């Protein structure tokens, strides 16, 4: 259609022809409840239950090395392994993958990886292998501040 034909149609608009209804529909409500039930059953069979992280008695905490990494511009050659350790740490704290992605993308924005889905793959792997190696990890040791680190004290049995 040309512009004149469209303008002509606009002079006599059609009535509301949508299928939307504001009335309650029992069939739709039943379908929704069944769909939720199916998803809940699937999630119980496909994912293993996550154990609570009770190492930090007063809530989750971020060690100084992780804070330093979050504030740094990570150089080439160390980004991938650091992002793996960050993903594992965030998963250990039970962070949601979206939160993990947001945090790592913020770090990566200062010196981006040129692999488009590297961060998503890293987060997936981190979620499957949660944990925090702490000072024992060669890459994290570069950012370690053992003298002020509650985690190092926790591992050595000192009071926090």
Count helices and strands in the chain by DSSP H and E runs = 8, 0
Is residue 139 within 8 Å of 78, Cβ to Cβ? yes
Number of neighbouring beta carbons within 10 Å of residue 139: 19
pLDDT of residue 22: 66
First to last CA, the chain: 75
Residue 132 lies in a domain: yes
Three-class secondary structure assignment of 15-52? CCCCCCCCCCCHHHHHHHHHHHHHHHHHHHHHCCCCCC
pTM: 0.58
Residue 145 lies in a domain: yes
Residue 99 lies in a domain: yes
pLDDT tens digits for range 5-48: 888 888 887 766 656 566 777 888 788 788 888 877 776 655 45
pLDDT of residue 145: 78
**Of residues 132, 144, 109, the one with CA closest to residue 61:** 132
Residue 17 lies in a domain: no
Residue 32 lies in a domain: no
Number of neighbouring beta carbons within 10 Å of residue 94: 13
Domain count, the chain: 1
pLDDT of residue 160: 44
Q: Kindly list the averaged pLDDT for each block of 10 residues, start to end, along the chain of length 160.
A: 87 68 77 81 58 56 84 88 91 90 92 86 92 80 79 63
Residue 86 lies in a domain: yes
Residue 116 lies in a domain: yes
Residue 109 lies in a domain: yes
**Of residues 85, 93, 68, the one with CA closest to residue 145:** 68
Range of the domain at 122: 64-156
């Amino acid at each position: 259609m040309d512009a004149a034909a469209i303008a002509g149609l606009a002079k006599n608009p059609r009535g509301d022809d949508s299928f939307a209804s504001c009335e309650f529909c029992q069939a739709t409500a039943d379908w929704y409840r069944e769909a939720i039930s199916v998803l809940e059953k699937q999630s119980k069979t496909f994912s293993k239950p996550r154990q609570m992280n009770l190492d930090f008695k007063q809530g989750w905490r971020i060690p100084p090395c992780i804070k330093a990494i979050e504030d740094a511009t990570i150089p080439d050659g160390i980004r991938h392994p650091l992002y793996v350790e960050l993903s594992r740490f965030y998963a250990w704290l039970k962070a949601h993958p979206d939160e993990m992605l947001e945090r790592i993308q913020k770090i990566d924005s200062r010196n981006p990886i040129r692999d488009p889905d590297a961060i998503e793959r890293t987060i997936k792997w981190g979620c499957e292998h949660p944990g925090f190696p702490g000072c024992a990890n060669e890459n994290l040791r570069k950012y370690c501040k053992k003298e002020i680190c509650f985690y190092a004290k926790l591992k050595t049995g000192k009071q926090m």
